[in-house]
Amino acid sequence: MSRVEAILTQLKDVAANPAKALADYKAETGKGAVGIMPVYAPEEMIHATGFLPMGIWGAQGKTISQARTYLPPFACSIMQQVMELQCEGAYDELSAVLFSVPCDTLKCLSQKWKGTSPVIVFTHPQNRGLEAANQFLVTEYELVKAQLEKYLGVKITNVALENSIAVYNENRVAMREFVEVAAEYPQVIDAVSRHAVFKSRQFMLKEKHTELVKELIAEVKAMPVEPWDGKKVVVTGIMLEPNELLDIFNEFKIAIVADDLAQESRQIRVDVLDSEEGPLYRLAKVWQQMYGCSLATDTKKGRGKMLINKTIQTGADAIIVAMMKFCDPEEWDYPVMFREFEEKGIKNLTIEVDQEVSSFEQIKTRLQSFVEMM
Ligand code: SF4
């Protein structure tokens, strides 16, 4: 097995086994993990405690039954799964769960958490352009910090926070380079592998993840660039899972050359900038700088233009919108984006992401026809 294959296998294992990642981390450090609900949270603050930050992004193919008691059937697919898993006690090992509430479904879920872990809820202000928004978020983060310290029994120092910010910035830079390398080498980094590199960063300490990603980049870049005889796409949405769905991309030679997925590139889009105001202010400023996301209010609606630019820059053939079933914020962005794609003559296809389904034949047929049309 080559070193590239070995690294990808390691990252795929982590992505597929978060419970094992947590057990290994506990055995190694004696510390536990803090869950992070989608989409954004000051993860650096958890890293600074020495606990493992772990993303909570649902699961695939689980039949929803208990969750129906607490959520209407039109709540988004991912939160139906999260609620079902909560009811089964899947998150009870977590020492706490961090919750931002930028959409109605997350607001509801934060108020009816059914697991036993303590829940820490905070608000991202939506009038983001104001300096007052930064100050408000600093106050929210002070409360988050105090609760983390209480539940985890640790003190979060500014030195530890600054160190964690540097670790995360380094990871984001490495991941942005990985995105470019994956676009250049689709024969080596296929859709499943690309996703695993992103997903594994949710269940690993970022410094370890960065080390592997940097090694992966160096190994891949040492290979010759081969011409790609398939199609290239930009994908956008909340997430694009599971592997069975990504296998279809591989089968029809559809390379993902850029993404705007909340689970993937939106997490690495914005770095934490320097500031004299201290680490909490630095973390708060990230929200003001965020762009192109359905959850971060943008009255100018720049997401469509961002995606069109990405499509042109990467030479992609089309944009694929991965629409999370019943996700209101994404559905509200869609008509504006769609009109802009059509006006610019950008080919586009929308597929529905439903975590409850386990059959992908319909999507397969649609992707096959789309490729043939291209
Ligand atoms: S942003 Fe969309 S997918 Fe995420 S919790 Fe809200 S409604 Fe669900």
pLDDT (tens digit, 9 = 90+) per residue, 217-272?
999 999 999 999 999 999 999 999 999 999 999 999 999 999 999 999 999 999 99
The model carries a pTM of 0.96
Please tell me whether residue 260 adopts helix, strand or coil conformation.
strand
> For ligand 1, atom 7, which residue shows the shortest CA distance?
327
- For residues 57, 21, 155, 152, the Cα torsion angle rounded to the nearest 10 degrees is 70
At residue 349 the predicted structure's pLDDT band, cuts being 50, 70 and 90, is very high
pLDDT > 70: percent of the chain? 100
Q: Which two tokens stand for residue 205?
A: 């300490």
Contact 191, 250 (CB under 8 A): yes
Q: pLDDT-derived band of residue 342, with 50, 70 and 90 as boundaries? A: very high
Q: Does 79 sit in the ligand 1 pocket, CB within 6 Å?
A: yes
Q: From the CB of 353, is ligand 1 less than 6 Å away?
A: no
Are residues 233 and 317 in contact, defined by beta-carbon separation less than 8 angstroms? yes
Q: How many helices (H) and strands (E) does the chain have?
A: 14, 8
Is residue 237 in contact with ligand 1, taking CB distance under 6 Å? no
pLDDT(63) > 90: no
Place of tokens 């992103």: 198
Lowest mean pLDDT among 16-30, 62-76, 95-109, 173-187: 62-76
- Determine whether the shortest distance from the Cβ of 106 to ligand 1 is under 6 A: yes
Q: Give the torsion through C-alpha atoms of 186, 187, 189, 195, to 10 deg.
A: 70
pLDDT at 357: 85
As beta bridge partners, residue 52 has 33
* pLDDT bucket at 148, cuts 50 / 70 / 90: very high
Tell which atom from ligand 1 comes closest to the C-alpha of 330.
2
C-alpha closest to that of 171 among 218, 214, 222, 220: 214
Helix (H, G, I), strand (E, B) or coil at 235: strand
CA distance 286 to 133: 11
The residues pairing with 120 across neighbouring beta strands, listed in sequence order, are 98
DSSP state of 255: E
Q: Tell me, what's the pLDDT at 250?
A: 98
* pLDDT higher than 90, residue 53: yes
Place of tokens 């192109």: 292
Cα 178–Cα 305–Cα 251 angle in degrees, nearest 5 = 50
pLDDT at 92 over 90: yes
